[in-house]
Amino acid sequence: MDIYLDNSATTKCFDEVVEAVSYMMQTEYGNPSSMHRKGSDAEREVARAGETIAATLKVMPKEIIYTSGGTESDNLAIIGAAYAYQRRGRHIITTQIEHPAVLQSMKYLQSQGFEVTYVPVDSMGRVCTESLLSAIRPDTILVSVMAVNNEIGTIQPIEVLGEKIKKRNPNTLFHVDAVQGYGKIPIYPRRYKIDLLSVSGHKIHGPKGIGFLYVNEKVRLKPIIYGGGQQKGVRSGTENASGIVGIAKAADIVFHDIENDVKRMHALREMFVKELLQIDNVFVNGGKEGFCAPHIVSLSVPGVRSEVLLHALEEKGIYVSAGSACASHKPAVSETLKAIGLPKEHLSSTIRFSFSVFTTEEELVYTVTCLKELITELRRFTRR
**Residues tagged active-site:** 326
Indicate the SS3 state at residue 33: coil
* Residue 100, CB-side half-sphere exposure with 13 Å CA sphere: 11
The DSSP output letter for 237 is: S
User: With contact defined as beta carbons under 8 Å apart, do 24 and 242 qualify?
Assistant: yes
CA distance 70 to 76: 10
Q: What's the rounded Cα separation, in Å, for the pair 126 and 148?
A: 10
Question: If you ran DSSP here, which 8-state letter would residue 289 be given?
Answer: T
Cα–Cα distance for residue pair 356/290, rounded to 1 Å: 19
Please provide the DSSP assignment of 217-270 as one string.
TT-----SS-SS-TGGGTS-S---HHHHHHHHHHHHHHHHTHHHHHHHHHHHHH
Classified as helix, coil or strand, 269 is helix
Q: How far apart are CA 277 and CA 35, in angstroms?
A: 61
255-291 as b/e, with b when 16 or more CB fall inside 10 Å? beebeebbebbbebbeebbebbeeeeebbbbbbeeeb
